Structure 1
């Protein structure tokens, strides 16, 4: 028994108490959904074993590795291949992925398993760029000499009344080479737009912690970042006006995949502060339980992923009538389109029961299933040795995507933010409920709670609101203690709380 609480009121265990609402002592989040081994094998096909091994080596849940793989592959595919379920509907493949968990849950190691091969590819791209840059600088020096000579000859010809000589082709080295990128960790909207305008294909924004990026999005831009990123999800044309330059940056397809982690409390803070503009609803989210600590007994086949990503980078684009690159639109087979339409109906039913940001997320599920189906189809191809690109997305791909997005990731999203932190008085009532279960006091009063200095339970107003919640849940009963003067309010604790445990 906790002696810090006063015990002046008789404790009558035989009093007529109702059963308390023990849900007040429970977390508001449901347990993490888990796929069976058979489900996992079907959904991820030729990548299931690689994901499982990488997760074991990194000491991370398979959900972290699998979602990181999907998001990374989506960025590498980028604007080369878009999914086209039917006439009038085209989806870029890019996915936004958020890994939710405590600091020791294994988010960063899981990201490393997928990002390390990307960095290896980028090191090769950097060496290629250095070589091309060196060659361009040599040609630029020659061009400068040829240009100077041409100017001298032109000036002389004009002075002598002759026609000016044609400018020689060697007098221009052309535009400098572009350093190809796959991933970025931070960049301004202007910087991202410049990279996309130069490289066209698409990018992956990868960050260990997404909450800082999301929380500071509008800090320096006067509110312009959120619309930019909303457009980056859709892959549409976008124009960025530059300060000090009359020429804007024009991006044909603003396409950026996003991958990163965050902690549950930081996500909750974001959910409380954010405007419901659909930004968070676009994220595929996983919030698994931590895995037991163990020493790895296997190795990750990093070469398999690197080779697959290089194959995806080699996917050719289509071209419009003017010869400009455009996405190749991969159609759905009739059976795949039927399966997608059925899934849309299921999502409509789920949406009716949902609220808040989770409702917005449910509304995005059909489009997310289209994107995931496109990524799965191309990952299957990248794992094989044959050279035939997927020329359609089949019902198998759609079925796997709908199961993953609808039956698994939807429940992770609900765990992460569909059942987000409740109102302050509910949070504080849960703190008091935990204290009651831990210390078993017979009665409580406001002053003794204040002395504890518990976060959120420091003012009489906060404590009174929390006590009121516990009263309504039949945890407490309010009585007035006769002190010979002004009665002092006390709260008797329901003894059935411990009998129910």
Structure 2
């Protein structure tokens, strides 16, 4: 293997360390805001907090899972319409970001259990209706047989089979899928007039597959507009309402590979949550989440099929316009992925406001009175949630996408070196211990070269024993310990948008 092309010096030679590149230590996650529970309707705040405690999962992931699941149940049945020429379906795409064993999957499961309860109740209703229908058919047949016997005995014409109406057979619609195969997805969408929820697990490169897959289908799934899918075998499949909400988990180190390339159309539509590890909480103190949450989400699923537009109240429209004005003013300073994500802000705020409105109406009311309009409080909460929480998290995640894998690995190596207070390191230590063999020897050389160029490592020739051969090792800049204990900045770059748009209402 070829070692990095840097000049090595004897072990005892004095070293004039340069000022190291502190940007490699910036932790984009450390100062990201926590999810603002007060932006959820009151009953759902309590449910989210209790569910997160019981699952030992971040509140952020539980809250975003809830919003996305609710969106998946409503889909294109309701479109949020601030004007007659602009409407947005209740469709959300969410990626829960975190390292392995950080609570992503348990958080996602808190809301999926509610969907499973709805699906089980739907199947039970279907089975019960089927049994009642079969019993009614059997009763009709027995009555007809008796009428035939009577006609035979009395030499009368045989009666026709009675045409009495039978109990209706309820529809069973797919609510959620975990298979993103195009044919499977298209077939499921044909069976539902409002769309569905697609869940994805971080063990597969699902984000990358979405970005590199059939962009036309995914953009139709985002907008809820009709499209056709051409399978590998067979005629085109027409989908009148392909609305698909997406909820998945992903590791931070998968982001750069997923969003590599110049097409930002998929990444710009995702909501990201990348919370810190939650503090320990004893399960003995956990309060079970309210058991009426599944019934509340079922009310969303039972809303009459649409599409039906939900306009904004005059006060909500005023909040939206104030947000759009500030949003427009701050768009000019952004570029690339950040500009693409920022540009989707008003539409996503409308979708969030619609979901918040419907969630609020559904909870705790057996006979849900469907809201006629989106109120100002929902628009205010959605706009604040987007600006104060979702924007910083998206910026941090998209920043990872812009950094190379070598930068990510270099950051891991620096953290590993600092945690062990090492003065020197070998290439095999970097590859096997710091990076857990995530790279080969050549990859370790590239990471080391990056750290040398950044002023964190310095190559030396070190003799093995008194007469052994010289071997190359790398000294660690002594400034690393203090830099890690007090890093420069957090990497969070909050947008300049002021709060002037908020107003009252």
TM-score w.r.t. structure 2 length? 0.74
With over 3 angstroms needed to count, the CA separation of the structure-2 counterparts of 1:280 and 1:108, relative to structure 1, is same
Residues in 1 aligned to 2:237 and 2:273: alpha-carbon distance in whole angstroms: 35
With over 3 angstroms needed to count, the CA separation of the structure-2 counterparts of 1:113 and 1:462, relative to structure 1, is closer
Q: How many residues align?
A: 444
SS at match of 2:90: coil
Q: CA RMSD in A?
A: 4.1
SS at match of 1:97: strand
1:89-109 Cα distance to aligned partner (Å, 9 max, x none): 010011112111122111222
Which residue of 58, 61, 64 maps to 1:64?
61
- Partner residue of 1:333? 313
- Partner residue of 2:75? 78
With over 3 angstroms needed to count, the CA separation of the structure-2 counterparts of 1:458 and 1:352, relative to structure 1, is farther
Gaps of 5+ in 1: 1-5, 143-167, 318-325, 482-487
- Partner residue of 1:199? 192
Residues in 1 aligned to 2:193 and 2:55: alpha-carbon distance in whole angstroms: 33
Residues in 2 aligned to 1:112 and 1:432: alpha-carbon distance in whole angstroms: 33
Residues in 2 aligned to 1:418 and 1:270: alpha-carbon distance in whole angstroms: 13
Contact 1:231 1:254 in 2 (8 A): yes
- Partner residue of 2:91? 94
TM-score w.r.t. structure 1 length? 0.75
Q: How does 1:28-427 map to 2 (within 5 A)?
A: 29-35=29-35, 39-132=36-129, 178-186=171-179, 188-209=181-202, 211-216=204-209, 225-241=214-230, 248-272=236-260, 276-296=263-283, 297-317=285-305, 326-385=306-365, 387-420=368-401, 422-427=403-408
With over 3 angstroms needed to count, the CA separation of the structure-2 counterparts of 1:46 and 1:451, relative to structure 1, is closer
Residues in 1 aligned to 2:25 and 2:232: alpha-carbon distance in whole angstroms: 55
How far off its partner does 1:401 sit? 0.1
Residues in 1 aligned to 2:455 and 2:407: alpha-carbon distance in whole angstroms: 14
How far off its partner does 1:439 sit? 5.4
Residues in 1 aligned to 2:126 and 2:454: alpha-carbon distance in whole angstroms: 67
Residues in 2 aligned to 1:224 and 1:473: alpha-carbon distance in whole angstroms: 37
Greater shift, 348-357 or 300-309, is seen at 348-357
Gaps of 5+ in 2: 1-7, 140-160, 463-470, 486-505
1:19-61 Cα distance to aligned partner (Å, 9 max, x none): 43334344455533224xxx52244433111111111111111
SS at match of 2:76: helix
Residues in 2 aligned to 1:476 and 1:365: alpha-carbon distance in whole angstroms: 42
